[in-house]
Chains A and B, each alone.
Chain A
Amino acid sequence: MGYVAAKGGREAILNAEELVEYFRLKGKSLPLSVKALKEQLRLACDKVMSEGSLYAPELAALALKQAEGDTIEASFLLRAYRSTLPRISYSEPVDTEEMSILRRISSAFKDIPGGQILGPTRDYIQRFLRFDLLGEKEKKNEHFSHINEGEPVQKAPKVIDLLREEWLLPQPAVKTNKEPYDITRCALIFPLPRSGRLQAMARGEEGGMMAIAYSSMRGYGDTHPTLAELRVGYIPLKIKHPITGKTVTAGEVLVTEVEIIAGKPTQTGEEVPQFTLGYGLVFGHNERKAISMAMLDITMKTQEPKHPAEDQEFVICHIDSIESSGFTAHWKLPHYVTFQSDLDRLRKIQKEKGCKLETDISGKK
């Protein structure tokens, strides 16, 4: 009997696991150190933390190493680990005005209070392959002694606050200090409150979010926004001390924050027509994702969705890479029972339609 389907599965699975390890190491190169990955694949680690929804740079680097650089797989590793951790408490609301800024730009105004800071960006680096890196050996870090990273710009005011003062944007919602909707504890129900939408996007996959946001920029929608402010930097994370009740800083988190303005007058509920604001905040340094998030925040405010990017159920249900990658991969699982049912239907229909199947595709009788 040649055909045993997917039986003998146990041994095959263990062999597959060993082969994966073999292919990772067979080249006999020096093992990648987690520290080197964390520092030199900084942006990949940030992506993994963001999509894995856990701020843990070292674990993100470990996940990347384990997953041989597959960021979706690495995010999955981190997310699966995250779901075993108990939730101890919520942090205090974050004030991004307190950010230690690495980079800050606005495309709305030529100059802004606090200044434009280009910071570490590839935006204006021309995309030539750097062949000198092929044989990079020398430790170059001593060349950077003139760079002082330790002087953050203090308390730069937000561009949108200037616009709010002039009533061009709606005032922030009244602070209720309600616990936010938590999609890791409550199932998604539509319409989803904005806090739930923002949380879902904060852990969404960059590529998926960018594709949907791009559809709205390109033609399936009418969003032509202005970037009020993009900032990248460290924000202090504060919690209430469980015993004293005082607010204490527990650590700092690198984030990218984007505020985007849809440049069309809208009735926002205030007395005068105003612009609409879109917000994006993501773990780590990831500007594409933060911009896409802010764009989708705007498009999903549409009351009567006409395009995919405006339909919150469409957007939110399809941007989580842990879910979409899992389901995409599951078609590799056996489906022979369901396929048997489908075969039964098709053969019955062919018979009832009186189809005469004289020959099969190969021409055999």
Chain B
Amino acid sequence: MMTEMIKGYNFAFIDEYAKREIRRKILKAVSIPGYQVPFGSRELAIARGWGTGGLQITLSLIGQKDILKIIDQGCDDSVNAVNIKRFVKTTTGVAITTDTLKATIIQTRHRIPEEELIEEQILVFQVPYPEPLRIVEPQEAQTRRMHAEMDYAKIWVFLYENIVKWEEITIGARYPVMVAGRYIMDPSPIPRYDVPKLNNASTLYLFGAGREKRIYAVPPFTEVKPLEFEDHRFRIENFEGKSCQLCGSTDTFLDEIVTGDKQVYSCSDTSFCEKRRKNPQTPRST
């Protein structure tokens, strides 16, 4: 990109001791899938709440040979993605790509790319609320106890009451999942459409919450199941009858665009959409 590397700062901004601590916490997170590992989150030159958790993971892992992709809402070119790319580029000089398949590290906010990720890649999620139980319990001391004891009754009751009141579970994005049959985890505000991609995937998924100072992980080939009832199954967003106005896809997650007099749709994953426009047969992960 356009920016020169900044002088007077360490490679990847944070100091090496901090990076080592974060890598150790990542290892712990990988060892206990779905468990939130507290870490000494550093302030960055990017505001808290703007992806500093994911960014600290990326900065602590990245090396000069890495190829980085950063997306926000599936889009490589949104202001926030551009801003974070500019920061990483300025402090590391690494190569940046928009091609999902060429990246070694992908940092994302609110989406998992449409194309299938492979074992050599790492997907880093930006997390605003690491605690899936926060909707039913405000106190951190309590939610930690609930996880330790697998005391998950409150959230099950919450889901049940949702169905009683609304005939439907009202959670849009951030749908809680059970990881490896042990910890309930917040998958970050990805749409429900992306949740099945967490299950038994080839790729390492790392989650960073900077403000809330937590790191957690879903290692490759781990069972991840959305919370559901036998008689009320988990459902993804419904795009029946809709298609992307640019590439014509009917099987991707779509952004709804309000033009004033009609609703139109386009792929949220902009890099994938471009590929589909060139080759309509480009496969997405299933």
Interface residues of A (CB under 8 A from B): 2-3, 5-10, 12-13, 76, 79-80, 82-86, 182-191, 313, 317, 322-323, 325-330, 333-345, 348-349, 352-353
- Verify if B128 is at the interface (C-beta below 8 Å from A): yes
Asked if B77 contacts A9 (CB within 8 A), the reply is: yes
Other 13 A-B pairs with CB < 8 A, given A13-B79, A340-B255: A7-B75, A83-B18, A84-B9, A84-B13, A86-B17, A187-B39, A189-B140, A340-B237, A340-B253, A341-B172, A341-B191, A345-B168, A349-B167
Residues of B within 8 A of A6 (CB): 75, 77-80
Specify which of B77, B167, B270 is in contact with A353 (CB 8 Å cutoff): B167
Asked if A349 contacts B48 (CB within 8 A), the reply is: no
How many angstroms from the CA of A10 to the CA of B85 in the assembled complex? 10
Residues of A within 8 A of B164 (CB): none
B40: nearest chain-A partner, CB-CB: A185
- Verify if B285 is at the interface (C-beta below 8 Å from A): no
Asked if A330 contacts B77 (CB within 8 A), the reply is: no
How many angstroms from the CA of A76 to the CA of B48 in the assembled complex? 10
Q: How far is the CB of B267 from chain A (nearest CB, A)?
A: 11
Asked if A341 contacts B237 (CB within 8 A), the reply is: yes
A86: nearest chain-B partner, CB-CB: B15
Specify which of B42, B49, B110 is in contact with A323 (CB 8 Å cutoff): B49
Q: How far is the CB of A214 from chain B (nearest CB, A)?
A: 22
- Verify if B211 is at the interface (C-beta below 8 Å from A): yes
How many angstroms from the CA of A182 to the CA of B41 in the assembled complex? 12
Residues of B within 8 A of A317 (CB): 140
How many angstroms from the CA of A8 to the CA of B14 in the assembled complex? 29
How many angstroms from the CA of A327 to the CA of B127 in the assembled complex? 12
Interface range, B side: 35 or more
- Verify if B86 is at the interface (C-beta below 8 Å from A): yes
- Verify if B214 is at the interface (C-beta below 8 Å from A): yes
Asked if A186 contacts B40 (CB within 8 A), the reply is: yes
Residues of A within 8 A of B247 (CB): none
Specify which of A12, A85, A339 is in contact with B79 (CB 8 Å cutoff): A12
Residues of A within 8 A of B52 (CB): 326
Secondary structure type dominating chain B contacts: loop
B16: nearest chain-A partner, CB-CB: A86
Secondary structure type dominating chain A contacts: helix
Specify which of B44, B140, B189 is in contact with A338 (CB 8 Å cutoff): B189
A312: nearest chain-B partner, CB-CB: B141
How many angstroms from the CA of A285 to the CA of B186 in the assembled complex? 43
Interface centre among A10, A76, A182, A339 (most CB of B within 10 A): A10
Specify which of B78, B170, B256 is in contact with A349 (CB 8 Å cutoff): B170
B29-43 vs A, CB cutoff 8 Å, 1 = contact: the mask equals 000000000111111
Q: State the 6 A-B residue pairs at the shortest beta-carbon distance, nearest first.
A: A187-B38, A326-B48, A341-B172, A327-B49, A326-B47, A330-B49
Asked if B191 contacts A323 (CB within 8 A), the reply is: no
How many angstroms from the CA of A323 to the CA of B50 in the assembled complex? 10
Residues of B within 8 A of A80 (CB): 43-45
How many angstroms from the CA of A2 to the CA of B259 in the assembled complex? 8
How many angstroms from the CA of A344 to the CA of B43 in the assembled complex? 36
Interface centre among B41, B254, B259 (most CB of A within 10 A): B41
- Verify if B282 is at the interface (C-beta below 8 Å from A): no
Specify which of B21, B41, B140 is in contact with A313 (CB 8 Å cutoff): B140
Specify which of A5, A333, A335, A340 is in contact with B50 (CB 8 Å cutoff): A333
Q: Give me 26 A-to-B residue pairs in the complex whose CB atoms sit less than 8 angstroms apart, sorted by A's number.
A: A7-B270, A9-B78, A9-B81, A84-B13, A186-B38, A186-B40, A187-B213, A187-B214, A189-B38, A313-B139, A313-B140, A322-B47, A325-B47, A327-B128, A329-B47, A333-B79, A334-B80, A337-B268, A338-B173, A340-B172, A342-B173, A345-B168, A345-B170, A345-B171, A348-B168, A352-B168
